[in-house]
Chains A and B, each alone.
Chain A
Amino acid sequence: MIHISLTINGERVEASVEPRLSLVDFLRERQHLTGTHVGCEHGVCGACTIHLDGVSARSCITLAVACDGRDVKTIEGFEADTQMEALRVEFSKEHALQCGYCTPGMLMTSYELLTRFPDMDPADIPKEMSGNLCRCTGYQGIVRAIQNAYAANRNET
């Protein structure tokens, strides 16, 4: 067992973990933060997307031990975030979710786009979201929601 010390959603967490424990399992099973979902365990579907040291990462192919000293944010850490709230409003308005399983990953990825790449050409949204699979929505509402969020940000500046 390896001792790790990290920050999760702004809180300091100390834990003793097996080297093979993935970050997503650590978050879900040990921290009871079940908003991050497991979809493939080989880094393709994006359902497990979190933010690691401020950038998006796939928690299913990240080892918890490798996160010692790091900063992790999950979907649960954005309750008071106005950009995330704006995204949520758009997702609901544009019917960008159905079963909800891929939704936290979609939000974490699109949040990063909006905040780190505010000047991105919205025509790039489909390509940028290709690492988050959805089986329910056909992506139509997801793309429109993110387009709207970009437009709203541009109108406000």
Chain B
Amino acid sequence: MSATGIGASVPRKEDWRHLHGKSTFVGDLSFPRMLDVAFVRSPVAHAVLKQAVIEPEDRARVFISADFGTVGPIVADGTIPGYIKTDYPVMARDKANFVGQILAACIGPTRAEAEDLAERVFFDFDELDAVTDAIAATEAGAPTIHPELPDNIFHRLELGQDFEEIRATAPVRVTRTFRLARQAIVPMEGRGVVALWDERVNQLVVYSSTQVPHLIRTALSEFLKLDQNRIRVIAPDVGGGFGYKAILHPEELILGALAWKLKRPVRWLEDRREHLTAGANCREHIYKMTVFGDTQGHLLGLDAEIIVDAGAYSIWPHTCAFDAIQAAGILPGPYQLSNYRVIARTVATNKPPIQAYRAVARPGACFATELTIDALAREVKREAYLVRRENLVPVEAMPYKSVTGKLYDSGDYRRSLDIALGAIDLAALRAEQKERLADGRALLGVGFATYTEHTGVSTSVVAWMNTRLMPGHEQAAVRIGPDGGVDIRTGVQSHGQGMETSLAQVASQVLGIHTDQIQVTHGDTALTPYSTGTYASRCMIMVGGAVGDACDKLIGRMRIAAAHLMQRKPEDLVFRDGAFHAESASMTIQEIAHVYYFAPAELPDDIDAGGLEIVGGYRPKIDSGAFAYSTHVAVLEIDRDFATVKLRDYVAVDDCGIQVNPMIVDGQIWGGIVQGIGTALYEEVRYDVAGQPQASTFADYLVPGCGDVPKIRLFKTETASPFTRFGIKGVGEGGAIAPPAAIVNAVNDALLPFGAEVAEVPVSPARILHALGEVGFSPGLVAGAKS
């Protein structure tokens, strides 16, 4: 086994270029005669569009919907029961349905000049009342956004059955409504597209800051009505994705269409204001939870209603129904629950189209479930962690089939909670909490959250949806070159998670050679096998498995060559540390490769003609999912005057199965946690009644900075998945799931003496003070205990 195999914290190959300022992000590309694009975006949330008012001298440089009549519309469809298909015009045509929706594209030699031009373009419109509330949107008399949706409902879902007896007899019943605010995803690099027509190969080449180049290629083909092999999509370095860049965006189609039409390179780089307004498009869910329990807080039944504020359009490929489908399926959480019913509605509003942000609906579902568990614990007057622990699926029950049919493959959830408890001194914290209550210092709160998550969305889980997001077997190409070095080519895209290193480690593990000799190529549709891309914490499972498969097959091929060259029987050779060994002879991969490439006459005549390049493939035999899980604990203080929350300690106990690169795993969890802290404490885009977003710069939209986050204490366990190659589970998203739950549970723990409870994120000072105000406390009263 090589020192750079699975389990080694190999330093990242990616680091050098980024540390030296030699990355290549899409904005770093320049091409001769390139034009910059600025968009005219709708200033209103809901309007009938009439005509565009463009000066004649500007007309040739402005492109409106009518100029691209054959492009799109984007249609996200499948066979999803309860889902109604609608059109998403690439540029607004007859109606504008959210502030920031593209009305026109303007070109210029520089972005500044394109923006000057955009300022001179006007649209006549008749403004309509805006729909900004997902509940009001479904009520009679609400303005409708799509003709196909008379009640503004994109998708309805009902799972499970009612449980009348439990409803009637359960001794304890707790009802709560939880809300998560609309957020923007805020990768540090915005989206960006450079498109050009390459005459040499007669192809539209689209450089896009995307996580899913092959999917974008498929979308460009479908919606531009261009054969797929006339299109190449390349994702260069991508500065953060988190899901934002895992779907098709209209700008990709528009830039492609412009490049094709103008036969000149065109560029669009999303600026921060565009992102915070037109890209405020995730997380906005409402959960109405009614839980039934016994007197000890053991769960007897859960009745839930989920409302997803889906914005104005259904995104491609997986449709806007994805959030609700996922939330409904995972809401029972890591708990033993046999009675569950959920009704979910995905509702159209005059806001940007919702898309999945890191962990999709799991932060919302975890928030709702974990706060409900704590509310249940308060109702039965027991410590929340005890009620939690007793309800968690015990390790003896693994694999455990949840009430929604998910198979939790492996894991010791109770041990995860126990380790978390052991990392803090709860008794001391409780004592300090009492002291602080009495002496007027900032309030102290402790909150827990445990979750399990389906990582690596698999074929059987999404096949019934029949959208274009259809992960099947994953392929990876592995080639051993003339010098014995290895090239891996994969259709996923690495944008921070270090796959140029970790996938090399998988090959290193199987082939026994050093990662320095292994090069990973990704992100380019011309160079790599098809893949649905990087999302859903799938890559290590799927591409790791495919690379493993390709390497296994290469070893098989080389074994036959080695046996021939060493004059042994293939089964008598032992492959170890990058070489085939017989009792007194050995041959390295490098030596075998040399023969393949420079002395093929020495190979056996019947050697496989495929040489040392193989496209391997993989899908877990049982692909019901690899469930990673974690417990988080938040310890925080609430300032009595300002109601600001300060995180004092944050513990995460995480299990993502077998870790390929523990250092990279840590980074994924830390990053997810801090984004979760953003969801919990800071991030929201509010809308006024006219549908105008109230945040457009970082002055209004707050994201956590270095001084806002504590040192995160991370503990890891490794429970292999029985279903995946190497026992790997996914880890890219999980960190973001629990923080809103752990933090708000801690806030409510601190507010318990006052009888106040918060049920929304972000838990801003205003929301804390509102909760206190509801039970008769004003900041002065809370603060005035002793000053």
* B707 lies within 8 A of chain A by Cβ: yes
Chain A proximity mask over B1-34: 1 for CB below 8 Å, otherwise 0: 0000000000110110111111111011010000
Cβ of B25: which chain A residues have Cβ within 8 Å of it?
34, 37, 101
Most buried by A among B21, B23, B25, B707: B21
Bound: A3/B603 CA distance, A: 68
Most buried by A among B15, B240, B674, B697: B15
Cβ of A41: which chain B residues have Cβ within 8 Å of it?
271-272
Measured between C-beta atoms, what is the minimum distance from A27 to chain B in Å? Answer: 11
* B609 lies within 8 A of chain A by Cβ: no
Kindly state the interface size class of chain B when it binds its partner. Answer: 35 or more
Question: Does A45 contact B706, Cβ atoms closer than 8 Å?
Answer: no
Bound: A98/B14 CA distance, A: 8
Question: Given that A41-B271, A42-B698, A100-B18 are contacting pairs, would A136 and B706 also be in contact in the complex, using a CB cutoff of 8 Å?
Answer: no
* B708 lies within 8 A of chain A by Cβ: yes
* A122 lies within 8 A of chain B by Cβ: no
Cβ of A39: which chain B residues have Cβ within 8 Å of it?
188-189, 272
* A115 lies within 8 A of chain B by Cβ: no
Measured between C-beta atoms, what is the minimum distance from A156 to chain B in Å? Answer: 21
Bound: A143/B670 CA distance, A: 13
Bound: A88/B19 CA distance, A: 6
Question: Does B706 contact A126, Cβ atoms closer than 8 Å?
Answer: yes
Measured between C-beta atoms, what is the minimum distance from B121 to chain A in Å? Answer: 20
Please, which residue of chain A has its CB at the minimum distance from the CB of B238? A99
Measured between C-beta atoms, what is the minimum distance from B587 to chain A in Å? Answer: 35
* B703 lies within 8 A of chain A by Cβ: yes
Question: Does B242 contact A135, Cβ atoms closer than 8 Å?
Answer: yes
Cβ of B709: which chain A residues have Cβ within 8 Å of it?
126, 138-139
Question: Does A44 contact B667, Cβ atoms closer than 8 Å?
Answer: no
* A103 lies within 8 A of chain B by Cβ: yes
Cβ of A42: which chain B residues have Cβ within 8 Å of it?
272, 697-699
Cβ of B21: which chain A residues have Cβ within 8 Å of it?
33-36, 74-76, 104
Question: Does B667 contact A45, Cβ atoms closer than 8 Å?
Answer: no
Bound: A42/B273 CA distance, A: 10
* B525 lies within 8 A of chain A by Cβ: no
Cβ of B670: which chain A residues have Cβ within 8 Å of it?
137-141
Question: Given that A44-B698, A97-B18, A107-B19 are contacting pairs, would A139 and B239 also be in contact in the complex, using a CB cutoff of 8 Å?
Answer: no
Measured between C-beta atoms, what is the minimum distance from B539 to chain A in Å? Answer: 14
Bound: A136/B12 CA distance, A: 15
Of B19, B240, B669, which is within 8 A of A92 by CB?
Answer: B19
Question: Does B706 contact A129, Cβ atoms closer than 8 Å?
Answer: yes
* A12 lies within 8 A of chain B by Cβ: no
Chain B proximity mask over A12-32: 1 for CB below 8 Å, otherwise 0: 000000101100000011001
Bound: A104/B28 CA distance, A: 14
Interface residues of A in 79-120 (CB under 8 A from B): 79, 88, 91-93, 95, 97-104, 107
Bound: A43/B670 CA distance, A: 25
Question: Does A98 contact B27, Cβ atoms closer than 8 Å?
Answer: no
Question: Does A103 contact B671, Cβ atoms closer than 8 Å?
Answer: no
Bound: A100/B236 CA distance, A: 12
Measured between C-beta atoms, what is the minimum distance from B3 to chain A in Å? Answer: 16
* A132 lies within 8 A of chain B by Cβ: yes
Measured between C-beta atoms, what is the minimum distance from B503 to chain A in Å? Answer: 16
Measured between C-beta atoms, what is the minimum distance from A61 to chain B in Å? Answer: 12
Cβ of B112: which chain A residues have Cβ within 8 Å of it?
18, 20-21
* A142 lies within 8 A of chain B by Cβ: yes
Question: Does B707 contact A127, Cβ atoms closer than 8 Å?
Answer: yes
Bound: A97/B239 CA distance, A: 11
Cβ of A132: which chain B residues have Cβ within 8 Å of it?
705-706
Please, which residue of chain A has its CB at the minimum distance from the CB of B28? A34
Question: Does B674 contact A44, Cβ atoms closer than 8 Å?
Answer: no
Please, which residue of chain A has its CB at the minimum distance from the CB of B678? A135
Of A28, A95, A107, A130, which is within 8 A of B666 by CB?
Answer: A95
Bound: A75/B21 CA distance, A: 6
Question: Given that A101-B239, A133-B188 are contacting pairs, would A138 and B712 also be in contact in the complex, using a CB cutoff of 8 Å?
Answer: yes
Interface residue stretch chosen among B50-58, B132-140, B494-502: B494-502
Question: Does B706 contact A135, Cβ atoms closer than 8 Å?
Answer: no
* B675 lies within 8 A of chain A by Cβ: yes
Question: Does A135 contact B15, Cβ atoms closer than 8 Å?
Answer: no
Bound: A139/B112 CA distance, A: 34
Cβ of A100: which chain B residues have Cβ within 8 Å of it?
14-15, 17-19, 23, 237, 239, 496
* A72 lies within 8 A of chain B by Cβ: no
Question: Does A142 contact B706, Cβ atoms closer than 8 Å?
Answer: yes
Cβ of B496: which chain A residues have Cβ within 8 Å of it?
98-100, 136
Please, which residue of chain B has its CB at the minimum distance from the CB of A40? B272
Most buried by A among B20, B112, B735: B20
Bound: A81/B697 CA distance, A: 35
Please, which residue of chain A has its CB at the minimum distance from the CB of B673? A138
Interface residues of B in 589-640 (CB under 8 A from A): none
* A38 lies within 8 A of chain B by Cβ: yes
Cβ of B497: which chain A residues have Cβ within 8 Å of it?
98
* A64 lies within 8 A of chain B by Cβ: no
Interface residues of B in 265-320 (CB under 8 A from A): 269, 271-272
Cβ of A95: which chain B residues have Cβ within 8 Å of it?
12, 663-664, 666-667
Cβ of B238: which chain A residues have Cβ within 8 Å of it?
99
Cβ of B20: which chain A residues have Cβ within 8 Å of it?
35, 75-76, 79, 88
Measured between C-beta atoms, what is the minimum distance from B220 to chain A in Å? Answer: 24
* A134 lies within 8 A of chain B by Cβ: yes
Bound: A27/B242 CA distance, A: 29
Most buried by B among A20, A91, A97, A142: A97
Please, which residue of chain A has its CB at the minimum distance from the CB of B241? A99
* B43 lies within 8 A of chain A by Cβ: no
Measured between C-beta atoms, what is the minimum distance from B34 to chain A in Å? Answer: 10
Question: Does A137 contact B30, Cβ atoms closer than 8 Å?
Answer: no
Nearest 8 CB-CB pairings of A with B: A35-B21, A100-B18, A101-B239, A138-B670, A98-B496, A75-B21, A99-B496, A138-B674
Between A and B, 29 residue pairs with Cβ closer than 8 Å are A32-B30, A34-B23, A37-B188, A39-B272, A40-B698, A79-B20, A91-B15, A92-B19, A93-B11, A97-B19, A98-B240, A98-B496, A98-B497, A99-B188, A99-B239, A100-B19, A100-B237, A100-B239, A101-B239, A103-B18, A107-B19, A125-B706, A136-B240, A136-B667, A137-B667, A138-B670, A138-B712, A139-B706, A140-B667
Residues on B lying within 8 angstroms of A by beta carbon are 11-12, 14-15, 17-25, 27-28, 30, 110, 112, 186-189, 237-240, 242, 269, 271-272, 495-498, 663-664, 666-667, 669-675, 697-699, 703, 705-709, 711-712, 735
Residues on A lying within 8 angstroms of B by beta carbon are 18, 20-21, 28-29, 32-42, 44-45, 47, 74-76, 79, 88, 91-93, 95, 97-104, 107, 125-127, 129-143
